[in-house]
Structure 1
Amino acid sequence: MASLTFKNLCKTYPNGFASVKDFSLEVADGSLVTLYGPHGCGKSTILRMIGGLEDITSGKIYLGDDLLNDIYPRDRKLAMAFQNYRLYGHLNVYENIALGLRLRSLPRNVIESRVRTAAEFFGITDILTRKIRTLSEINKQCVALSRALVCKPKVLLIDEDFSHQDEKLRERMLADMIRIHREFHLTMLYVTNDYNEAIRYGNLTVFMRSGQILEVRENPDF
């Protein structure tokens, strides 16, 4: 199961600032959930705690029946798409997409199949041999999403800054996000401070302010 369960999740920094306060939520398997609120409300911090990039002060996060608190970040069955694509300029597109699979020592034919499938999905098969530094920002975004998908995560986390606040990048990212959800039925969390995006995309919208949930609204039309 790829459900996510948050139980009384809190994040307080050493200076005493409480970024997340008693966050509790059930995310069903295969759901697309948007976290909406102003900058600094704690929504991106929640994604980082799921991914293991931020320590949890208190509370619990479960992926299915597995307590993520006890699992090293590299062993969590999820993928993250944050602002820094973390692509390697000296490698070509194919090598960047395949890198995580090679580190896991998967067979060459499996790597080839997964990379080709992802590249076809995002329409980048014609640039697989190009170096990252020669690509447009839209193509870099597609490479980053391809790299996330080839690892076959149970959960995909996408931060609003992944599109660098560029309108064309954002439109492409949102379109790809919906395609990924419908094609692969992944559990997905998307962070945004755009109200129209929040209520339009996803099965569930979580409204946040000052680290707390104000409202959870279902979207029956999605």
Structure 2
Amino acid sequence: MSAVDVLGGHRLVPVVVLDDPGSADGLGDALVAGGLPIAEVTFRTREAAAVLRRLAARGDLVVGAGTVLTATQVDVAYESGAKFVVSPGLSAAVVRRCQALGLAVIPGASTATEIMAALDLGLDTVKFFPAEASGGLATVKALSAAFPQVRFVPTGGVTAQSAPTYLAHPAVAAVGGSWMVAPDLLAAGKWDEVTARCALPGVTS
């Protein structure tokens, strides 16, 4: 199954940094209530795998692992119930391990060379990262002109205000963002606010 298929039509992907598995249920409830039953749990914290496992066990969320840097982390993500893997850059070892396990993978790419390497690995969807620092939508337009077969998931500096502009471009499959799952909201357990921020006017989730 392709990365776009695994995302299930959701055009917003909450990028979650959470080190408290006990908060996973509240987060999951908030995302589902907000009509955005998907999450990328970044492997930036010690308890990331436990958070991922708890969210995946619910059965009502599409859960992936983010900031995956090694093939070993791919194995951990797979064993924890991840349906997709996201990396900040392009690692052939990570991609091949995902492919061996049947996991959808979205590697980071911000240059033509990286996109060609992704194509060589049989991929057609990349995470455009860091989106804003790499030229934003102007760069996506330039790259998509050269690679019309590639879909992009801009992440990094994308906000609720800029997301609709990215999503209006036909080469953009989805955007990743953290405004709806900001660390201060998660730490304070402000689940109603998380739910409210899941909605983005004019954008189908």
Name the TM-score, length of structure 1 as normaliser.
0.38
Larger strand proportion, structure 1 or 2?
1
Name the TM-score, length of structure 2 as normaliser.
0.41
Bigger relative contact order (CA 8 A; separation at least 6):
1
Give the greater-gyration-radius structure (CA): 1
